[in-house]
A = this chain, B = another copy of it.
Amino acid sequence: MFFHRKELQYHAKPDRPDPVYAKKLQEILGGQYGEMSVAMQYLFQGWNARGEEKYKDLIMDTGTEELGHIEMISTMIARLLDDAPVNEQEKAAENPIIEAALGGMNPHHAIVSGLGAMPENSTGVPWNAGYIVASGNLITDFRANLNAESQGRLQVARLYEMTNDNGVKKMLSFLLARDTMHQNQWIAALKELEEKYGTTVPGTVPEEWEATDFSYDLMNFSAGEESRDGGWASGKTPDGHGKFGYVETPEAHGGKQELKPAPSYMHGTPPK
């Protein structure tokens, strides 16, 4: 069960409206690695968690915080859109600044939401749940979370480069900080889990299920052997069970790719 407080977690006031930047900011709201993604990913992971309570609580703490981040960025977008001059075509024809504002806006901000945030990314594609995962295996899910927070912080850093507005930068500085925390927390939690269950996911696969001859070899499918020169091509493997090998010329083990003729009731191309 959730409760809402009306105050924002952190400042979300731009120094001045900027409808073009509002469009770009949509990426970290409704994009592949935006706040909708992390909030929903964590909440589903928490609700589906079937293991230790402390992991579940950690996930729910973070997922609930992210709901507040959607709120902050939505607020910032709406404020960047304040008084966007969408009806000033005539002035735009003469004034390059108004023209730029009109030309670079997301049309949805004017036509659909009436100067509010949209649940979509910076190119106007609606958020969808194909972005997220909750698998029931915490090691792999925390790897997904670590990636999400890393992609997220990278995008925030790029957006920071793309503005001069100190109010916007203030909000971004907070997101940079929280993404630092979240990266560190998932790394710490992964360390703990990997020590218990191993680094290869899932750790519960019996050895006899696996074609172990192929478990530790890098196969050179792209001409050139630059890839031989790295910690992944020789030495002990991180999971502690093998040694990396390098296969210069990968072989085919599986016979020709060919199929039986189709039955006539499928109306395909008849066999020769």
Contact = CB atoms under 8 A, between A and B. Distances in A.
Given A202-B154, A252-B7, A119 B61 contact: no
A9 B128 contact: no
A269 B51 contact: yes
Given A147-B143, A158-B267, A48 B74 contact: yes
Contact of A189 (B232, B264, B268): B232
B202 A157 contact: yes
A42 to B, nearest CB: 10
B112 A31 contact: yes
Interface residues of A, number: 195
B11 A1 contact: no
A65 B250 contact: yes
Nearest to A127: B129
Contacts of A65: 2, 219, 221, 250
Interface in A242-268: 242, 244, 250, 252-268
Interface string A23-39: 11001001111001000
Nearest to A131: B130
A20 B55 CA distance: 29
22 contacts: A2-B3, A6-B256, A20-B103, A44-B116, A47-B117, A48-B78, A48-B115, A48-B116, A51-B268, A51-B271, A54-B226, A71-B257, A90-B164, A112-B135, A114-B136, A123-B124, A125-B125, A126-B129, A130-B130, A147-B147, A202-B267, A204-B267
